[in-house]
Amino acid sequence: MELGSFSLDGLALPAHLEEVRAEVRAFLAAERSSGGYRRDAAGWDRYDEAFSRKVGARGWIGMTWPKRYGGREASALERYVVSEELIAAGAPVRAHWLADRQFGPLLLNVGTEAQKRTYLPRIAAGECYVCVGMSEPDSGSDLASIRTRADKVEGGWRINGRKVWTSYAHRAHVMNLFARTAPRSEENRHAGVTQFIVDLKSPGIAIRPIYNLASEHDFNEVVFDDVFIPDGNVIGSVGGGWSQISAELAHERSGPERYLNAYGCLVHLLDRVGAAPGERDAEKIGRLVAHLWTLRQMSFAIAGMLERGRVPAVEAALVKDLG
């Protein structure tokens, strides 16, 4: 499907990737049988550092990255197949997921050589976990309205402000922080936003839990009180955060988790209705399966675009909205 610069062409899976799929399935079956993890409603959103290290040892984190940074220089399609199998099986991959999916590609794209050598091998080994500091008390998805401030000082920056709804900040090693380094301009509301790598053990950082209705602790409020960040921890260009996040979100929005979030629920539903559902149930299930299959094909097409070096920002946003 192609319209102007918008493209979601169909893509056939190369035969050798079925061998990769079989390898991942065998690994997951062995992990389940040995008690390595259990499948439940939380699925892939579970945070399990030990499991992430096992996945890293298999070479399944940072797969597409250069070997000098701990990667395997695998194709984007191979990574897609591995990701699809892990998520569909409900494997607890949350600990390394954001670092693998977004933060690593961000550093490869705009990071310094020192940043790449410091973080990428640890991420690929399943030993470095990342959270994102974007949402604020009065700023949700509107990045232009953030108030967390980064003021230039000798050798670096001083950070003051608050982030909320930060997933797993209490278990991450570093934060990909968005902060304002210049006043907002009415001509360009997104100007003056910069990304920083923040060591979450830095003095002046307070991480406070936000509990959900089930008394579970996934989200956090993160407070920055005069936190010093060295110049070497600026990601990309000062003031270039908005353009950088646009490319980064293409990775976040296009992966198989966009449609597989509902897969576990579908499996449980099919178990409940049995092999011979009534006509009404069969129709509803058919519609759901058709929707998920369409999303899968679209998501897979985007993986092909990434394989060809394209940045599918619009296409990925569509998959996110439909998913």
The pTM assigned to this predicted structure is: 0.86
Return the CATH number at 117.
1.10.540.10
List phi, psi (to 5°) of 143.
-60, -25
Confidence of residue 97 (pLDDT cuts 50, 70, 90): very high
- Cβ count near 319 (within 10 Å): 23
The mean per-residue pLDDT over the stretch 269-285 comes to 82
Residue-wise pLDDT tens digits, 119-161? 999 999 999 999 999 999 987 667 778 999 999 999 999 999 9
Confidence of residue 318 (pLDDT cuts 50, 70, 90): low
Examine the fold and report which residue of 202, 223, 239 is the final residue of a domain before the chain moves on.
239
Return the CATH number at 156.
2.40.110.10
Catalytic option among 23, 221, 252, 307: 252
> What Rg, from alpha-carbon coordinates, does the chain have?
21
Task: Please indicate, yes or no, whether residues 63 and 27 belong to a single structural domain of this protein.
Answer: yes
The mean per-residue pLDDT over the stretch 223-236 comes to 98
Task: Please indicate, yes or no, whether residues 6 and 70 belong to a single structural domain of this protein.
Answer: yes
The mean per-residue pLDDT over the stretch 52-63 comes to 98
Task: Please indicate, yes or no, whether residues 156 and 185 belong to a single structural domain of this protein.
Answer: yes
Task: Please indicate, yes or no, whether residues 205 and 143 belong to a single structural domain of this protein.
Answer: yes
Task: Please indicate, yes or no, whether residues 251 and 233 belong to a single structural domain of this protein.
Answer: no
**Active-site annotation holds for 248:** no
> Which pLDDT score, from 0 to 100, does residue 322 have?
61
CA angle 81, 107, 5 (to 5 degrees): 65
Task: Please indicate, yes or no, whether residues 161 and 189 belong to a single structural domain of this protein.
Answer: yes
Examine the fold and report which residue of 129, 144, 160 is the final residue of a domain before the chain moves on.
129
Residue 264 predicted with pLDDT over 80: no
Range of the domain at 300: 245-322
Task: Please indicate, yes or no, whether residues 121 and 163 belong to a single structural domain of this protein.
Answer: no
* Contact indicator for 312, 302 with CB cutoff of 8 Å: yes
Give the count of alpha carbons within 13 A of 260, CB side only. Answer: 23
Residue 6 predicted with pLDDT over 80: no
Examine the fold and report which residue of 94, 129, 164 is the final residue of a domain before the chain moves on.
129
Task: Please indicate, yes or no, whether residues 118 and 138 belong to a single structural domain of this protein.
Answer: no
Task: Please indicate, yes or no, whether residues 162 and 276 belong to a single structural domain of this protein.
Answer: no
In the three-class reduction of DSSP (H, G, I as helix; E, B as strand; rest coil), residue 190 is classed as coil
Residue 1 predicted with pLDDT over 60: no
Instruction: Report strand pairing: 149-153 vs 130-133.
Output: unpaired
Task: Please indicate, yes or no, whether residues 138 and 176 belong to a single structural domain of this protein.
Answer: yes
Task: Please indicate, yes or no, whether residues 142 and 117 belong to a single structural domain of this protein.
Answer: no
Residue in 88, 2, 90 with CA at minimum distance from that of residue 292:
88
Residue in 294, 247, 305 with CA at minimum distance from that of residue 80:
305
Task: Please indicate, yes or no, whether residues 6 and 123 belong to a single structural domain of this protein.
Answer: yes
**Number of domains composing the chain:** 3
